[in-house]
Structure 1
């Protein structure tokens, strides 16, 4: 099954400093049919104005992944971590027993990013944070694993049975991903693509389950972000 969540149908909140689109129910946006996708609970498509950002606020028992699309985001938290994550790179935070964090755009330009929340498999675990650069040229024409709940994968670790992947495709290129039909996949492309014969436009959400192979054909140059979760 492939369900296209059109970009224009997503929840929308414009706070001036933050222009956000919500793939799933979040904050003041509520849709009982979009409470999540499997263990994926939040996928926010955020544009954060220069010299602004999210002031300190708490979380617990959630795996939070930030994929920066343009610009950069600077993180600081109650564990003493601080770091800048630039376009194409990823940071993860396991909120665990509780953590307070802030995310600021300290750049002179807008920052755009995806913030993804996945339900944890380890409630009350110690909180943690990590970030890594992922040069985009390393994912040309193929999916690159960015974060995973499998500690043996050698990438950013989260406390959830999930995989976060990124890829870039040139117009006309095709990419296959072998999937477990029992799992829930969610894909967001930066441009027009065809997914198993179904067309998705720029920044649409593509909810996938029941498929053993996912074939993505780029109709335009596209950047892909995929989450594979229970």
Structure 2
């Protein structure tokens, strides 16, 4: 089953410094048809104004993956990690037993990013943070693991969850096939362009929940980039 979630039907809000769209329900006033998919509990599409961001706050027992679509995010946490992640690249934070962090747009243009939260396979553990560049040419015409808890996904950032975060860049008319595990579910969001997933049209900012399918075909209607998360 495919559940198309158009951008216009997502929860969210405009808070001035932050414009947010929530692919999964995050409050008791939200759209409960947009339920979590197992361990995948949050997928926010955020736009953060220059000079603003999320001040110091805490998390525990969560794998938080940020895919930067535009601009650069600046990270700092209480374990001594500090760095920046630019457009097209990925950062991962394993909150583990607890971490305090801040995320800011210190640039001159709006920062656009996906924030993806996945529950870990087990609680606790030392908190950690990492970032890595993922050149778009390496994803041209194929899916590449960006963050993963699967040991065989060489080159991906490590997450402590039974899940994979993959990305691809397709030219108009290109297609890729992806086979899911028999008990897996997945969620896909185009970061750019328009594509079809098993014939269902999905535009930039839309999402599609993939439930109980073992094979999907993704075809670009126009030049497109997308992120796919499979929860194993």
* Aligned residue in 2 for 1:206: 208
* Aligned residue in 2 for 1:217: 219
* Aligned residue in 1 for 2:79: 79
* Aligned residue in 1 for 2:3: 3
What pairs up with 1:64-75 in 2 under 5 angstroms?
Answer: 64-75=64-75
- Measured in 2, the distance between the counterparts of 1:28 and 1:112 equals 26
Q: Return 5+ residue gaps in structure 2 as ranges.
A: none
Superposition deviation, residue 125 in structure 1 = 1.4
* Aligned residue in 2 for 1:153: 153
- Measured in 2, the distance between the counterparts of 1:207 and 1:52 equals 31
Superposition deviation, residue 181 in structure 1 = 3.5
TM-score, normalized by length of structure 1?
0.96
Contact 1:191 1:203 in 2 (8 A): no
Superposition deviation, residue 197 in structure 1 = 1.4
- Measured in 2, the distance between the counterparts of 1:152 and 1:193 equals 28
Superposition deviation, residue 3 in structure 1 = 0.8
SS of the residue 1:51 aligns to: coil
* Aligned residue in 1 for 2:185: 184
SS of the residue 2:30 aligns to: coil
CA-atom RMSD, angstroms?
A: 1.3
Change (3 A) 1:217 1:17: same
- Measured in 1, the distance between the counterparts of 2:32 and 2:174 equals 36
Superposition deviation, residue 153 in structure 1 = 2.6
* Aligned residue in 1 for 2:57: 57
Contact 1:12 1:29 in 2 (8 A): no
**Bigger shift: residues 197-206 or 43-52:** 197-206
SS of the residue 1:185 aligns to: strand
Contact 2:185 2:213 in 1 (8 A): no
* Aligned residue in 2 for 1:123: 123
Contact 1:169 1:223 in 2 (8 A): yes
Contact 1:182 1:209 in 2 (8 A): no
Size of the aligned set, in residue pairs, is: 230
What pairs up with 1:86-125 in 2 under 5 angstroms?
Answer: 86-125=86-125
TM-score, normalized by length of structure 2?
0.95
